[in-house]
A and B are shown apart, each in its own frame.
Chain A
Amino acid sequence: MTAFRRQYGAGPVHLLAVTASIAIAAYALSRVFDGADPMRVMLWMAGSIVAHDLVLLPLYALLGAIAGGALVPDARRSRARVAALNHLRAAALASGLLLLVWFPLIAAEAPRTYMRSTGLDVGVYLERWLLASAVLFGGSALLFALRVRRLARTPLPQSGS
């Protein structure tokens, strides 16, 4: 038993569970391949990992780091500056999330299909998203303006505290 553990890195139940899970997933994957071009499916599955882990996440992390560096440089940390960063983050993330989720309608990827299905014009979604983003950024800025005076009076504990 200990020999197994040393060779494998975990107990036999682990091996059973992992094998069962991978087997079911592999079977399901083979069923997807049945009625479709496997390359297209793999492209979408692997592509979704790459798109998230290596494109989307680094992109928003980078934008966040740039905003953080500009608004809250280490030497000039203050409650008001941290709050400004967070008000910007909240609005940008909410607006970005709406775009991410409703991108096909906002970017009018399939205007003809949309019209033929619903009888309506897909063009409204870009305006609606822009309006929602304006409300999010505007509302967040307004809230910040209301908070900033109070925040300026309270000092911020320094980093490492």
Chain B
Amino acid sequence: MERLPRLPAVGPFAAGFWRSPLRGPWLASLLSSALLPLVAVCALTGFLSHLAYQPRLDSNAIFGGPGPGNGFDVFGLGWPTSPSWLYAATQGLHVITGMAAIPVLLAKLWTVIPKLFENPPVRSLAHGLERLSLVLLVGGGLFTFATGVINIQLWYPFGFPFVPAHYYGAIVFVAALALHVGLKLPVLLRAFRQQGVLRPLREDLAHTRPEPGIPSEVTSAPTSAAAPTLTRRALVGGVGAAAVGLGAITAGQVVGGPARELAFLAPRGRTRPGPNGFPVNKTFAAVDIPRDRVGPDWRLRLIAGDERRAVLDRPELLRLPQVEAALPIACVEGWSTTQDWQGVRLLDLARMAGVDDPETAEVRSLQPGGPLSRVTLARDQVHHPHAMLALRVNGADLSLDHGFPARIMVPAIPGVHCTKWVKALRFS
């Protein structure tokens, strides 16, 4: 193949522009080895979250209609109800590993930035395609991280729906990442064989020398390095500390209790006093429900198929046999809070509606509009002995913000499926 043109060797395109002695294939490989498991857990838990929404049930589809428009719903699996903290754990891990990956990702990009300006920019058709896929890798990766980080802080500046963009953006990222890992694994192995996996971490400043690069590979190792001001172990240790620190201050809003205060920059790191003081996903003021619809005139309608079978007010519900359970609200945004709930078993309500063995329960909220004003619960969710229409929490009536007069609580389901301000339950 004929030689492809070079760019003029000016600025970042000149070989001697990048002077840090720490850059090189070994550092890139070590950071990648830390980044890959974090990204793998983050991606896996992210796709599991999609599964937890059970989008194949009628009203649960969060984007578009059936089939691929609703995500790669190839699992054909349900979502278990046990342990009750399952979704709190998977979605907590999703956000914690995502946060912890950020410093590692930034360090990795810093390490390989000279390759963005490699000269000639394209050496062959193969190299050109590889670089195209790197655009998808970096673009898809930064896009997925950025949208996730912004979304959990309740800021929606995108101008496109978050869920499908984050979901399919992640697939762009993962597809490009799988290729990148496959293509770069030999380079990683050579770098580790050449330098030792951890040996460069033992060098003090006097022995910190530039990486030599790898024969016949274009790498990020400098051609003319400045004198070192930092050891490799300080750099790697600093990145590790940043990752652990960022993960820890995010974990506070998953673990809850006294640890919640640790999450001092996270959106759900604060509680208020009292039995209803735990974090709120959406306040009553934020949804357009007229006040009188949640007053003494509120009624719960029990429907079987298309037929209304019973209408109950709140005192009647409170006179029914009550179940109590400690269950988490586990938000897709990666925070959770476990409280003691009290209410009427969904199965008891199904039987009052004349459905002894319900397949599904469709929950309707007073909250108008939005994809989550109707939620469908699967068979095992309705049948779980702790699945309830909750009326009280921590020994007190629910507050309006937590769903008064009544809300759904079911073990291990995404928080937004624990519908608040319930007006009707339809069993089938």
Contact = CB atoms under 8 A, between A and B. Distances in A.
A43 to B, nearest CB: 8
Contacts of B175: 21-22, 24-25, 28
A33 to B, nearest CB: 9
Interface residues of B, number: 80
Interface stretch (B32-40, B280-288, B343-351): B280-288
Contacts of A72: 229
Most buried by A among B64, B155, B158, B183: B155
Interface string A98-131: 1011101110011001101111100011001100
| Contact-residue bracket for chain A | 35 or more
Contacts, number: 211
A93 interface: yes
A125 B265 contact: yes
B293 interface: no
Given A21-B179, A32-B165, A104 B135 contact: no
Contacts of B267: 105, 114, 118
A32 B139 CA distance: 14
A116 B155 CA distance: 12
B57 interface: no
A68 B265 contact: no
Interface stretch (B125-133, B193-201, B302-310, B361-369): B125-133
Contacts of B135: 49
A9 B229 contact: no
A118 B103 CA distance: 28
Contacts of B106: 97
A119 B182 CA distance: 47
Interface of B: 1, 63-64, 68-69, 99, 102-103, 106, 109-110, 113, 116, 123-127, 129-130, 132-133, 135-136, 138-140, 142-143, 146-147, 149-150, 153-161, 164-165, 168-169, 171-172, 175-176, 178-179, 182-183, 205-206, 226-227, 229-230, 234, 238, 242, 245-246, 264-268, 270, 272, 279-283, 285-286, 401
Given A22-B129, A36-B165, 12 more contacts: A8-B126, A14-B126, A21-B133, A24-B175, A25-B171, A32-B164, A36-B160, A85-B229, A93-B238, A100-B102, A110-B153, A110-B156
User: 10 smallest A-B Cβ distances: which pairs?
Assistant: A9-B124, A159-B227, A36-B160, A9-B126, A116-B286, A48-B142, A21-B179, A28-B171, A10-B126, A104-B153
